[in-house]
Structure 1
């Protein structure tokens, strides 16, 4: 007689409901009494707001992520905490504005000794581990180098991936020709296209962790579609770059076609992972979240916004956010709620029965109501980036923006391309947002003039890495 795990659970719930004084349990309620939800958090690298077909891209199709959006909620006003990688990842790990930590002022992290995510700071994986979760990072770390810093020091039980910010898809070498693919603290020594390797390892990790009675949290952080511009089958480009004095840093490579193939390759691996969850019969017990660490770069589509990575224009900080939360999100729903990367820390902790450390309160908010379909609420959020002395505050539909000595006021709902500067028409709103940003700024660490912020000068970056 074939008896499925779900039928046994359903029967158990029915029996419990017939006991004296018992409260009838629905399917979702029975699942909650059995275990906390599994969590898979997927982060793309430098993916633009409009780079998925469900967000408007027309040159290629992202079938797996489109299917994920169709089964859950797609946010249209989601922001990465910053327009660059490491700082946003700091916010994702801590649930706090990245400017509260020295590591959040640095990009790329790893160029100055002693700068990284402190192992003593509570993180999303460490706080989930406290309430019984297994934790794993598959993919990109980029929050500090050994021996002081590393994913295994900041709450992850398992790590398989890259420590640095950018890695060749075939040679697995970071800038400066340093090998950078690790199984824990040991070189992985695996050959293959990196996106495919990360996809397979994520499936292996889920199979391993799902065998336990403990729930799991897995971060899957792709390097795609970050440069170097290498699609599957482009080994010749990797060989060419290995002879380049700047290694994988180059300005003469890539194309729209190559970029699309990189994104589609990532989408394919996400589809394989989603299928694995179904085959393991844990899809209904697993929250899946997808986003990008910042806005897009050279070949990205950021429509209807302008701007790109390293800029506080909307195109540099708007990111796709897709959430499939069984029992909470509704299929094919769209939310206009303003959210930030850091919001997922208090949100997921609340769902798991955990909480923030009292000495490190969250700046992010619990967004479960928005995921469930509640109307959007007005909110004030702040941004800061050293490159070009940029700062911004969004309050409701209004956005204050400063780039060097130029200041602006935009209604980013009516004017998403930030064309009409309304600061003279609405001086009251402009003054209020400038004051709000100044008050927030006073609570953050000051910008560190010694921090290295990645700009557009390749020789500057080369000089930094050559000092290693």
Structure 2
């Protein structure tokens, strides 16, 4: 553990915490972060989706705040979650790509990293993660196991390949392997594969654990990271059976004249929506709704990996690209904030914000200083209707290592720059070109020079994540 991290945690453990943010005088507000997996900006009704039914999330938006310029930490899962956990942007956070079995330690948080879970745990919160992790595993990546990164409770998947299978043979309870009743045809040795006898659906199990955790901790402040695995595809099932949208039933889409893959994809999202509705209802039943901030978002843009038809659902909305793209289709995601009594109903924020802002927001809610060396701005003023008092990001940053190193940044909440290593900078004016179709770098040389200078110095050197042309 680094000296500065030790000092931060010791300080937090003795700091006399108090915050005026709480709706329940004298008690710190609880925080729930609900994360979908590969859910696109345009896949919820409140963001314009006409075919997939999401009544609970639409109601959450109507009762709370909807962000229209909210960004994931990265365009794929592991680095996006690393940004969420550390409050550092993609060029400075620990995990900057999906390393997988080739270099598992490169996809693991380490002891010197300070996570939002550790910060809140030190501030007296009970912490839990249910669902997909992807930032640590048994063996060479053990430094990143959830229990070693601030979570009191964990139940779910440790690595993202295992999380492809929605009906897995096993899950992890803290650091103990728990067998399920599904009969799985295994693919590789990570737990990936697909169920030939599908009995227990992982997201249903995570919903039950989340509800139980909230109920058991209703008398104390808690932090819950509920990390669903829908609507991510089961890639192995897609390769073998041409259908990666494995779901218990097709729900309201059973009679639609659509391919099974499309019905399954839509049913995943509607089932996810119902689970979120159950949590919000429980918070009301327990009288916790006015002292609990609930955030909902997605780890990156939508996928095209289940054999379904993105053309039917237009999952990225008006934006270009999908998961693995640095255009906004790959990184701009839905984000809803719900906190009755604190967040005014029916609000819409066009402010540019991103995953990294959870750290500073959580610190302010817990009444403690934000850690040093982060790229995070508290959204609490925005949530409380004091947006004019909130800071703004000058730049947001992303990178991507697969198929050759690429970088992107958003400058002044308007100018989007993308470049490939050794290539020419492209500049887009998102105020008039949300689809990022027209390169205006020649028309705005001063802006192009500024973002080039910033991209050149945005990232810190990581021996695990060296930029390469291919």
Q: 1:106 aligns with which of 75, 94, 97?
A: 97
Partner of 1:156: 151
Q: 1:193 aligns with which of 189, 201, 215?
A: 201
What is the deviation of 1:394? Answer: 1.1
Which digits, 9 at most, give the CA deviation of each residue in 1:350-373, with x for residues without a partner?
A: 111123334xx2211112222234
How far apart are the structure 1 equivalents of 2:80 and 2:180? 29
* 2:177 is the alignment partner of 1:171: no
Partner of 1:389: 405
Which digits, 9 at most, give the CA deviation of each residue in 1:22-42, with x for residues without a partner?
A: xxxxxx988443310011100
Does the Cα contact within 8 Å between 1:402 and 1:408 map onto a contact in 2? yes
How far apart are the structure 1 equivalents of 2:438 and 2:166? 45
How far apart are the structure 1 equivalents of 2:340 and 2:275? 21
TM-score (norm 1): 0.79
Unmatched tracts of structure 1, length 5 or more? 1-27, 174-178, 236-252, 456-468
Task: Note the aligned Cα RMSD (angstroms).
Answer: 2.5
How far apart are the structure 1 equivalents of 2:371 and 2:415? 33
User: CA 1:446/1:336 → structure 2, altered by over 3 Å: closer, same or farther?
Assistant: farther
Matches within 5 A, 1:452-463: none
What is the deviation of 1:233? Answer: 2.9
TM-score (norm 2): 0.79
What is the deviation of 1:445? Answer: 3.4
What is the deviation of 1:100? Answer: 2.5
What is the deviation of 1:108? Answer: 4.1
Unmatched tracts of structure 2, length 5 or more? 1-19, 182-199, 235-243, 251-258, 305-309
Does the Cα contact within 8 Å between 1:109 and 1:144 map onto a contact in 2? no
Which digits, 9 at most, give the CA deviation of each residue in 1:310-356, with x for residues without a partner?
A: 11011011011111134432111000000010101111111111233
* 2:209 is the alignment partner of 1:214: no
Partner of 1:401: 418
Partner of 1:306: 320
User: CA 1:444/1:306 → structure 2, altered by over 3 Å: closer, same or farther?
Assistant: same
How far apart are the structure 1 equivalents of 2:411 and 2:71? 13
Partner of 1:244: none
Does the Cα contact within 8 Å between 1:232 and 1:265 map onto a contact in 2? no
- Over alpha carbons, which structure has the higher Rg? 1
Secondary structure of the residue aligned to 2:265 is: helix
Does the Cα contact within 8 Å between 1:109 and 1:142 map onto a contact in 2? no
Moved over 6 A (4+): none
Matches within 5 A, 1:34-73: 34-73=26-65
User: CA 1:84/1:308 → structure 2, altered by over 3 Å: closer, same or farther?
Assistant: same
* 2:431 is the alignment partner of 1:413: yes
How far apart are the structure 2 equivalents of 1:126 and 1:383? 25
* 2:377 is the alignment partner of 1:365: yes
* 2:276 is the alignment partner of 1:270: yes
